[in-house]
Chains A and B, each alone.
Chain A
Amino acid sequence: MKINKTEIVDTFAEAFEMWGSRVIITADSMGWARAAALSMTGFATSVIRCKCEAAIECEIAREDTPDGRFGISVLLFTMSKSNMSARLVDRIGQCVMTCPTTACYNGLATDDVVPVGGRLRYFGDGYQISKQVEGRRLWRIPVMEGEFVVDESFGVQPAVGGGNLLIFGTNRSTTLRASLAAAEAMKEIAGVFLPFPQGVVRSGSKVGSKYKGLIASTNDAYCPTLRAFAPKTKIPDGIEAVYEIVVDGLDEECVAEAMRRGMHTAAEKGATLISAGNYGGDLGKYHFHLHKILNG
């Protein structure tokens, strides 16, 4: 199958079950909301070493935030529900509570919830105050400029992690331009996020390593420099660079839609070939077949 001159490989992206949460950060200015969100989503590219994956989902208009201030939505995913509370408490406690003027609210209305403000409140050392309004309990934790307000609980739901595209090109700059454009288009879909820097990954990994104790290592099949001798190279003639775009989402539909948009945009911007990463289909619950996605 082709989109214009770009070949779409008949393969699938293998993705995994994760647990998702949505955090709404508000502040007196978009600058402070963004500062907190960037800090909170730092070092959250892959569960392999970061314990969670997170990124900014979108900015939120003032009239749509719980307290009428500038807002940013952050999505944060973990491999298990039991791990979510600790990740949120760590990151909200260290990156949002510390950031001037911010407040932090739950952005998912689900039956499943995990305690966050209910644990962070102890930072208040007995001076914290609880308030209940509109069916939610807020905690007011005294800080040196006033108070940090945070929801008692945050909703969690099953989610999809590890949807991906592999963008191949004839040189690095063209491939990167196509990948970046694809990533930008994919980020526009509500409910998805791209956890890596600008959404683009150059160090794609395979499962396992020749070295004991490493659960992942470089994906030699897609490294152009190893093409001459890597046993399973998948670099065709004329390809000089491959970038991966990893996409996580709150459900299958939004991940598939993001991948569809990503493929069209990458093709439009000069990608030579588009493929996807999988592990043979045995590890992940979700299989996103590229041709099926494009055929609707």
Chain B
Amino acid sequence: MSLKLNLHTQSNVPLEMSCINPDAIQHLSQSGVERLEIIHGNDTAHLGDFFSVKGKGQETIHIEGDCAAIKYIGAGMSNGKVVVDGNVGMHLGCGMTGGQIIVNGNAGDWVGPEMSGGRIVINGNAGHMVGAAYRGHSAGVQGGEIFIHGNAKNEVGSAMRRGLIAIGGNAGDFTGVNLLAGSVIVLGEMGIRAGAGMKRGTIVSFSDTEVLPTFEFACTYHPVFLRFYLMHLRKNGFQIDDRFVNGRYDRWSGDSIELNRGELLIFKR
């Protein structure tokens, strides 16, 4: 039996609930969970003020309700699973090192910022800054996987150093901006200025995209490693046509204002 949290009261101001985290909850009794302290606007409150709690702390936390105003769900978690049936707010899985978060709804901005392990799956759309570095920080995602089955907004994977981000729909502008390494795969369309300032790493697009003038065309080829990634994504519920697996890709190297060792792979139609 998993621990079930049912949202019974919507807050007028955002809530910060980094305590919704298997590491923090799994050894607590039901009443212990209800007494967990959360941040309510500029004040503190208890989790039980907003959620009804059923079951005992287990490895899986099941949340029901529209949590679009709740921030930091699963922040810092290292194991277990959080499943949300509804929308979630900003900073989902911030800094997580392991475990899995599944959202059956939409997510706000800053999904999985600076995570270093585990997996986040959004079965809806996500906001800006998916898997990004916080402003002023040098590196974003350092490991793990973020799968967005819908669309994502601007700056997906900003300053990412390692790991995989896959967007099933479209991504906004500046996808992979300042990328240090790692892989960003967009199955739909990307906005402008993809890979601006990237040093290393891989950005893949299934659609034509405008390439910055600081990128140089290398060749059109069959990237074998990409088959490995695409089959991995298929196993995780992404619909990927065979022509993308077997097809050729234009390889652009950039960004020449940086190391010029990054790559933009664009499916050749």
| Chain A interface residues toward B at CB < 8 A | 28, 66-69, 103, 129, 131-134, 138, 140, 145-147, 149
Contact = CB atoms under 8 A, between A and B. Distances in A.
B225 A147 contact: yes
25 contacts: A67-B227, A67-B228, A67-B231, A68-B227, A103-B224, A131-B225, A131-B229, A132-B143, A132-B162, A132-B163, A133-B164, A133-B183, A133-B229, A133-B232, A138-B225, A145-B221, A146-B219, A146-B221, A146-B222, A146-B223, A146-B224, A147-B221, A147-B224, A149-B225, A149-B228
B245 A68 contact: yes
Contacts, number: 44
Contacts of A134: 232
Contact of B227 (A69, A129, A132): A69
Contacts of A149: 224-225, 228
Contacts of A147: 221, 223-225
B184 to A, nearest CB: 12
A132 B163 CA distance: 7
Contacts of A67: 224, 227-228, 231
A129 B224 CA distance: 13
A134 B163 CA distance: 10
Interface of B: 143, 162-164, 183, 200, 202, 219, 221-225, 227-229, 231-232, 245
B116 to A, nearest CB: 12
Contacts of B200: 129
Contacts of A146: 219, 221-224
A68 B230 CA distance: 10
Nearest to A139: B225
A128 to B, nearest CB: 11
A268 B219 CA distance: 58
Given A68-B231, A146-B223, A149-B225, 15 more contacts: A28-B222, A66-B231, A67-B227, A129-B200, A131-B183, A131-B229, A132-B162, A133-B183, A133-B229, A138-B225, A145-B221, A146-B222, A147-B223, A147-B224, A149-B228
Contacts of B183: 131, 133
Nearest to B222: A146
A139 to B, nearest CB: 9
Contacts of A129: 200
B219 to A, nearest CB: 8
Contacts of A138: 225, 228
Nearest to A145: B221
Nearest to B183: A131
B13 to A, nearest CB: 40
A209 B36 CA distance: 80
A28 B200 CA distance: 28
A149 B232 CA distance: 16
- Closest 10 A-B residue pairs measured CB to CB? A67-B227, A146-B221, A149-B224, A103-B224, A149-B225, A67-B228, A140-B225, A68-B231, A133-B232, A134-B232
Contacts of A103: 224
Nearest to B245: A68
A48 to B, nearest CB: 37
A66 to B, nearest CB: 6
A138 B202 CA distance: 14
Contacts of A69: 224, 227
Contacts of B245: 68
Contacts of A68: 227, 231, 245
A133 B185 CA distance: 13
A69 B227 CA distance: 9
A133 to B, nearest CB: 5
Contacts of B219: 146
A191 to B, nearest CB: 25
Most buried by A among B163, B183, B219, B231: B231
B157 to A, nearest CB: 15
Nearest to B162: A132
A138 B183 CA distance: 13
Contacts of B163: 132
A79 B231 CA distance: 36
A123 to B, nearest CB: 16
